[in-house]
Amino acid sequence: MTLARLAAAFAIATAAVAAAPLSHAAGAASLSSAVKPFDVHTLVRLERVSDPRVSPNGRTVAYTLRTTDYEANKGVQSIWLHDLEAGTTRRLTAGSGASHSPRWASDGSLYFLSTRSGSQQVWRLSLDDGGEAQPVTDLPLDVGSFVLSPTGDRIAVSVDSFPDLGADLAASKQRLEARAAQKNTGVVYERLFIRHWDTWKDGTRAQLFGFALDDQGAITGNAQWLSNGIDGDVPSKPFGGDEEITYTADGRFVIFTARIAGSSESWSTNFDLWRVPADGSAKPENLTADNPAGDSGPVVSADGRWLAWRAMSRPGFEADRNRIMVRELNRDGSLGPAREVAPKWDRSPDALQFSPDGRKLYATADDLGQHRVFAIDVATGKTKALTGDGHVEGFALARDALIVAHNTLASPSQLFRIRLGGSAPLQLTQHNAATLAATGFGDYEQFSFKGWNDEKVYGYVVKPVGYVAGRKYPIAFIIHGGPQGSMANDFHYRWNPQTYAGAGFAVICIDFHGSTGYGQAFTDAISGHWGDRPLEDLQKGYAAALAKYSFLDDKRAVALGASYGGYMVNWIAGNWAEPWKALVNHDGVFDNRSMAYSTEELWFDEWEHGGTPFERPAAYEQFNPVNHVAKWKVPMLVVQGGMDFRIPVEQGIATFTALQRRGIPSQLLHFPDENHWVLKPQNSVQWHETVLAWLKRWTAE
């Protein structure tokens, strides 16, 4: 069926689902001269709110604020406080270095990570005496993360060190310095990983150490090696943090997440929960050995009775549904049987927190294009959404309320207080207020249509800034990565639809089969079907949008995406070229088979294709973009990070080589100092300006 016929059919058959009405100044026909359309220069300079933490007395929220030092080409983090009773907000940390990860101690003092001493260490600030922050640790190596005991007498810290040197961190530092001084640079590897995300392996591991705290809150005595005997990283690499580590309520034990590496680390998702005495007097014991899939995110109820965590069911699948599990922690150290909470709730939570009485668990999860906080009754499994449309980036409990960092497609995160009784959210912070008041955003709307297998699929359309009724606008069709992800109602700092809306494009985003937040069967549908089911959704979603929104100019349409979205750009170049004036492929797969042999996390490709490339070569070839290069004809911009080990640089080079050899207009934008993402502020500006120049070149009237 042609797209024109699809569009005509959807004009009758599509069932639209609108988001909550929005009223942005930029959506009006007459854009005020004082209002500037949103662009990348505004994006990279916005202050970013994250990680809210509520004090033990429930009065104060500490959070991290990231600002941009554009000349230094980096972000700078500081800690801020909001007084819930007075309604005031102030900056807590200043001076040199970055400060982040605020964590309250039971006595009301605040611990945090800071680089103010020249290395990243734990610091403590007593808010009662108004004094200066004092160092808690002064270790030879950087502290990656930390967790405080609820009893206030111990701290656990994660440090990258050499496991064979145990708790002698000074010896680990000496070995690193000796290596750096060597003239020869060769490294011999005997097993995978040899590199991960953007870092080559050097023999160190993230190891967990425990310390006693003195009366001033500083470490005292020798380090206790809590992860002794664990051949793995605590927390996990590359993105794990202190959410993978917790103390029991009585402070006697530490429970943490770890995967035993061995020779299978690069194709295993078998993370387990381990328990170790807080003083390191015994080696860790495995609490979840019966589950060969992933277990993570342990949390303990305030009364110490219950342990809860997230567990997957299928080994090797990183996007399996997270089940919520609980076990009783008996006083004698034994554990009750594991039980699943809310087994019929078809969502996958990514954070857990107990209510003070232990009767409820609070969790965040993707849900129909939003990312909400849910309350789950531990006894009955009954669930209730506590937040509406938008994206909750983080949350904390404050007496009878939730404190959430919340954003939408047209607003970066702010802190809000939501009364658990059901009152309207109250905005607490006003970061970027002047900038946002002078910035125009595009109005947006969620819609739905029948996709693959006649199942409902959702998407978003964003109007261009300064939209005028009756005009037609070029289309930026953004394809999300993952593929088990979502192009949802959130404020993204790399793939933000508003940067295209501000440049005069209308934006279409489709949550095709494989996306998260629509039930596990919907997410599972993409595995083994990279090139057919999601492509059908994208085609039908594009047609549905054309039928519903008359301002979309289908004669000036471009498609762009990263990671799996970049793969799909390569795939549609040979299988759905007709609508597109130009394409943009960022870090996309060009050849499924070579990708499977050169990426680092092998479990991903092996799950998605049903086995290894030598066991199932046909599965890797079925939807392989390299096999369709002869049909390529659409101009393409290729973007590639030189430090991207997830989709290595050769995939981008091969894509560009194929385009050049075919004589297709093309460009390659290579960032030698970026990984799978473009993170440096000035690189982000160059990325956006290059991409938009390419899109405008091919959509100019």
Q: Bridge-partner residues for 363, per DSSP?
A: 352, 374
d(CA 400, CA 418): 9
Can you tell me which residue has the tokens 């609070």?
362
CA angle 418, 424, 426 (to 5 degrees): 60
Question: pLDDT at position 33, please?
Answer: 66
Question: pLDDT at position 424, please?
Answer: 86
Give me the percent of the chain exceeding a pLDDT of 70: 95
DSSP characters for 350-381? Answer: SEEEE-TTSSEEEEEEEETTEEEEEEEETTT-
Strands (E), 188-294: 195-196, 199-200, 205-213, 219-225, 245-247, 253-259, 271-277, 285-286
| 285 Cβ neighbours under 8 A, 6+ residues apart | 274, 275, 276
Q: Which residues are catalytic?
A: 563, 644, 676
Topology at the third CATH level for domain 92-173+189-427: Neuraminidase (2.120.10)
- Amino acid (one-letter) located at 486: S
Question: pLDDT at position 108, please?
Answer: 95
Give span(s): CATH 3.40.50.1820, the chain.
3-41+436-699
Give span(s): CATH 2.120.10.30, the chain.
92-173+189-427
By CB neighbour count within 10 A (0-12 exposed, 13-18 middle, 19+ buried), where does 10 fall? buried
Question: pLDDT at position 1, please?
Answer: 38
What is the pTM assigned to this prediction? 0.94
Question: pLDDT at position 32, please?
Answer: 65
Mind listing the pLDDT tens digit for each residue in 278-317?
999 999 999 999 999 999 999 999 999 999 999 999 999 9
3-class SS of residue 202: coil
| Residue ranges of the chain with per-residue pLDDT less than 50 | 1-30
CATH number corresponding to 3-41+436-699: 3.40.50.1820
Question: pLDDT at position 31, please?
Answer: 63
Q: Alpha carbon 27 to chain centroid distance?
A: 29
| 264 Cβ neighbours under 8 A, 6+ residues apart | none
